[in-house]
A = this chain, B = another copy of it.
Amino acid sequence: MADGPFNASLIGFGYWGPNLARNISSSPHYRLAYISDTSSERLDAARRSYQSAECVSDPSVALSDPDIDIVFISTPVGSHRELALAAIRNGKHVLVEKPLALDAYSAAELVTLADANGVLLAVDHTFVFTGAVRKLRELVSTGEIGDLRYFDSMRSNLGLVQPDINVLWDLAIHDLSILQFVTEKRPVSVSASGIAHSPSIHESTAYLTLFYEDDFIAHVGTSWMSPVKVRRALIGGTRRMVVYDDIEPSEKIRVYDSGVDKPSGAEASYQTLVQYRTGDMFAPPLETKEALALLMDHLASCIRGQETLLIPGRTGVEIVEILEAANVSLSNRGSPVSISSFSE
């Protein structure tokens, strides 16, 4: 097993599962042994596409077969905890679809158990493996951007209204993982506001502000009710500002000067303090390999002990903590809520 290919079980073949299946089976690092789903319709579809995998409605064997090295869980979030617990107890490495769990307590429990059992617990925040987000992280970590000032993202479209979670848990979760991966900062409190419309009791439009110990601020706007699809984040620093627009077919990352000029003369004394300068802009070339394929490579290297998880369970817990705090603030029209710390 040390070298692979690793035998893999996939639990859940709904919206995201087929993407996992395609990338597991096309990777030289894995052998897709089981696919499990409770729907016979989806199981039939799995069977047609993956003739060499065993397709089962009961996940028990897929979770317990001694030959299995790793379990990929892409079921509705309500079942993440139970399935991941079973896999971990059976000594399997686990990748759980985001969010890791419905509450931070359960999420932290998984992390503790995985540590105790010596297995990897990864969370599938796929976005951090895109060429664009890795470039953002590089621009920040090399000091190119300078001291971070703000992160401002908008993620909206005409979306499926999820039955069990609100729009922050569905959409902002991507931005939270990008934010954590790029800045490596942890918020101290949040303020969230939003609105639900019947028949749903969950917010379909919501806004989240994250406060930090220093003078950095982050804001995430999300909506399932926007006629136009928006996937845009701005990151501002003392040296550069970056626009990351994921809708653009090319030049997804644009880097701008953010030098500050002090205006002089009559106008200065009248109404300005400082003036920001518009200068050069450049768009760096980006790696275009599919993010999920890179995640598969990364996971295999982690199993072999050659790399450390980029998005470990602990990060998954932190993100759930932020979303839990956001829910409390949402119910209180923006009242600030401190981030609790099950993860520490």
Contacts and interface: CB of A to CB of B under 8 A. Distances in A.
Given A162-B271, A219-B207, A271-B15, A276 B334 contact: no
Interface in A178-229: 189, 191, 193-197, 199-200, 205, 207, 209, 211, 215-217, 219, 221, 223-229
Contacts of A281: 227, 251, 282-283
Contacts of A215: 195-197
A277 B217 contact: no
Contacts of A264: none
A160 interface: yes
A274 interface: yes
A126 B155 CA distance: 31
Contacts of A247: 249
Contacts of A227: 234, 236, 241-243, 254, 256, 258, 278, 281
A233 B35 CA distance: 45
Nearest to A154: B154
Copies of this chain assembled into the complex: 4
Contacts of A191: 191, 193, 333-335
Given A160-B275, A333-B211, A336-B335, A236 B225 contact: yes
7 pairs of A and B residues whose beta carbons are closest in the complex: A191-B334, A227-B256, A193-B209, A158-B276, A282-B282, A195-B217, A227-B241
Interface of A: 14-15, 39, 41-42, 51, 76, 149-150, 152, 154, 158-163, 189, 191, 193-197, 199-200, 205, 207, 209, 211, 215-217, 219, 221, 223-229, 234, 236, 241-243, 247, 249-251, 254, 256, 258, 263, 266-267, 270-285, 329, 332-336
24 contacts: A14-B267, A42-B266, A76-B271, A152-B223, A158-B278, A159-B275, A160-B271, A162-B273, A163-B272, A189-B333, A195-B215, A200-B273, A207-B219, A219-B221, A221-B221, A225-B236, A225-B241, A225-B258, A226-B236, A229-B249, A280-B284, A282-B282, A282-B283, A333-B336
